[in-house]
Chains A and B, each alone.
Chain A
Amino acid sequence: MNCTTATGFSFKRQNPALRRYSQRFSVAMGAYVVTILLAASHAKTGHTHGTLAYLLAALPGLSVIAILVAIGHYLREEKDEFLRAIQTEALLWGCGVTLAVATSWGFLQMFTDVPRAPLYLIFALFCFVWGVAAAVIPRRYL
């Protein structure tokens, strides 16, 4: 049976590294969403101090670490060097653009009156740029 990968490539059988990555990524992303909802609902009750509040607020960050670990495992386990090269370049685009935007906005915040950007958006920006790059880079090889 044919299936399409995250990079838009099809295999007759799903690449085992990609299958494991999809499972790990889904679990970690699910945990990310659930922990954000938990932390947000706890904060809404007005409890923003204390051990429980700090613990709940730290959980989404731990989920992000789990997502990054899943990505790292994928890069290490992917046997198809072409797919690995595309994903590596896409991740570098994600890291590079995110670092550039975050640092530049930081200086703008420091020296001007631009609005303060919420730091939690950094990971979303990284994922967005990585996703766009992973979709665009394979077109180079068509």
Chain B
Amino acid sequence: MKNKLRELRADRGWSQADLAERLKVSRQSVNAIETGKFDPSLPLAFLLAKLFNAPIEQLFQFED
């Protein structure tokens, strides 16, 4: 799963730790999601979408 979290986070000037604090997860969780090594659950994906005020499909793109 590809994602645009890094760009969206950078646009807001947030560090990984800032985003982690907003999501109430570890910074390593944010890093693992950003690098595409860990796919978040639907609730966490929705939370990210709400936080960035963007639809989920703008944040995550499914790769065949």
Tell me the A residues contacting B by CB distance below 8 Å: 5, 9-12, 15, 79-83, 85, 138, 140-141
The answer to whether B38 and A82 have CB atoms under 8 Å apart is yes
In the complex formed, the residue of B with least CB distance to A79 is B24
Judged by a CB distance under 8 angstroms, whether B17 is at the interface is: yes
> Could you say which interface size class chain B belongs to?
10 to 19
Q: How far is the CB of B36 from chain A (nearest CB, A)?
A: 10
Cβ A141 vs Cβ B37 within 8 A: yes
Which residue of A is nearest B35, CB measured?
A141
| A81 touching B29, Cβ below 8 Å | yes
Q: Which of B2-41 contact A (CB under 8 A)?
A: 17, 21, 24-29, 31-33, 35, 37-38, 40-41
Determine if B31 and A141 form an interchain contact, defined as CB atoms under 8 angstroms apart: yes
In the complex, what distance in Å separates the CA atom of A141 from the CA atom of B37? 6
Rounded to whole Å, the gap between the CB of B2 and the closest CB of chain A is 17
CA distance A74 to B26 in the complex (A): 16
- Compute how far the CA of A15 lies from the CA of B21 in the bound complex, rounded to whole angstroms: 11
Whether B37 lies near A140 (C-beta < 8 A) is yes
Inter-chain contacts of B26 with A (CB < 8 A): 5, 9-11, 15, 80, 82-83
State the CA gap A140–B37 with chains docked (Å): 8
Q: Are A9 and B17 in contact (CB under 8 A)?
A: no
With A and B bound together, what is the CA distance between A81 and B37 in angstroms?
13
* B21 in contact with A12 (CB, 8 Å): yes
Contacts of B31 in A (CB 8 A): 141
- B28's partner among A79, A81, A82 (CB-CB below 8 A) is A82
**11 A-B Cβ contacts within 8 A?**
A11-B26, A79-B24, A80-B24, A81-B44, A82-B25, A82-B28, A82-B29, A141-B28, A141-B31, A141-B35, A141-B37
